[in-house]
Amino acid sequence: MLATVTPARRQYLELKAQHPEAVLLFRMGDFYETFDGDAELAAGVLGIALTSRPMGKGEGRIPLAGIPYHQLDRYLDQLVAAGHRVAIVDQVSTPPSQGGPAGLVERRVVRVVTPGTVDAGALLADGGHNWLVAAAPAADTAGAAPEDARWGLSACDVTTG
């Protein structure tokens, strides 16, 4: 199937395969685009238009919904507030239209945001904190009754950078 799709679609599918549980916001020029089921979800949660576009031979039209890149924080907050994990894909090379080399713009997942890892935006009250905590039994006491095990505890405030 990947041989019949556009290079950008191939890039999207490869990144989506690495983050199947996340809504993938895929930067294309001045927009973050969502495709397939992510587009349908984003359109419903964000109240944005759902459209479609061809993305290769034999693919038919693919559901698409996009947001302007400068509105990322606003829409990211809404997706996370609705309980979704979001992977943000940015262009990490200069596009040909801005003097970069010819060919496909390189893109990577640069950030994954979940309800537990919010570090900025409207989801945090002014001066608010978001603590991430992990607990695990010590390796030499694994399998012991909880009251007999030694535990490691780690906490960090992800809002402090």
Contacts of 155 (CB under 8 A, 6+ apart): 131, 132, 133, 134
Per-residue pLDDT reduced to its tens digit, 95-117: 888 887 888 889 999 999 988 77
This prediction has a pTM of: 0.75
Least Cα distance to 122 among 130, 110, 131, 134 occurs for: 130
Could you give the domains of the chain? 2-113 (3.40.1170.10), 124-161 (no CATH)
C-alpha span between 66 and 135 (Å, rounded): 39
Per-residue pLDDT reduced to its tens digit, 2-61: 558 888 999 999 999 999 999 999 999 999 999 999 999 999 999 999 999 877 776 678
pLDDT at 52: 94
User: Looking at the chain, which runs of residues are DSSP E strands?
Assistant: 23-28, 31-35, 51-54, 61-68, 86-91, 107-113, 131-137, 151-157
The amino acid at residue 14 is E
β-bridge mates for residue 152, sequence order = 136
pLDDT at 143: 77
pLDDT at 22: 97
pLDDT at 3: 57
Whether the CB-CB separation of 151 and 135 falls below 8 Å is answered with: yes
Identify the band that residue 120 occupies on the pLDDT scale cut at 50, 70 and 90. low
